[in-house]
Amino acid sequence: MEVKSIIFVCLGNICRSPLAEGIAKQYIIEKNLDLIIQSAGTGNWHIDEPPCENSIKVAKLNGVDISKQKAQQVKKSDFKNFDLVVGLDDSNISNLKNLGCDNPLKLGDFGFDGADVPDPYFFDGFEGFDKVFEMIDVCVRNLIDEKVKSA
C-alpha cells in the first residue's frame, strides 16, 4: 500500500499528537515527501484549543512550530481517509479499535520496542516534555522512513 496520509491520535490532541503532527510535517519537508499529516484526540474535551503550553514550548525549542494547530476529535471517516492511523499509547490503540479502526499502529513500535509514549499533560511543570519530544521525534522519523517510499 502506498502511504499518502497519516493521522496521529492521542487522548485530547493537545500534547503528544500535535507534537507528532508537527515533527512529521517538518520531516516530510526535509525528505521532500508529499504526505497529508494531521492529528486528533479520542476525547472531545479540547476541541478547537491550541496545544498545551509546554508542548508548544518544547516543540519551539526543537525548531518545530505547532502553535497554530487546533485540537480535533478523531472521526470514523478518518479511518477511511488516512492510510495510517497511529496511536500514541495502548489506551489510544484500544479506543481506536473500539471506534472501528481495524489496524491502528502504535508509535512506540517504531523505535522504542512498543513502549507507550507517556502523556506529559499529567507531569508537574515541564518535566518529561523533553523526553516525550525525543521519543516522538525518533518514532515519527522511523515510521515515515519505514512506511513511506521516497519520491
Q: What angle do CA 44, 49, 55 make, to 5 degrees?
A: 105
Give the count of alpha carbons within 13 A of 42, CB side only: 21
User: Which residues partner with 36 through β-bridges?
Assistant: 5
Catalytic residue among 10, 15, 52, 139: 10
Look up residue 129 and give its three cell numbers.
Answer: 516534555
Active-site annotation holds for 119: yes
Look up residue 3 and give its three cell numbers.
Answer: 502511504
Active-site annotation holds for 52: no
Looking at residue 21, the DSSP 8-state letter turns out to be H
Catalytic residue among 15, 119, 137, 139: 119
Catalytic residue among 15, 16, 116, 139: 16
Q: What are the residue numbers of the active site? A: 10, 16, 119
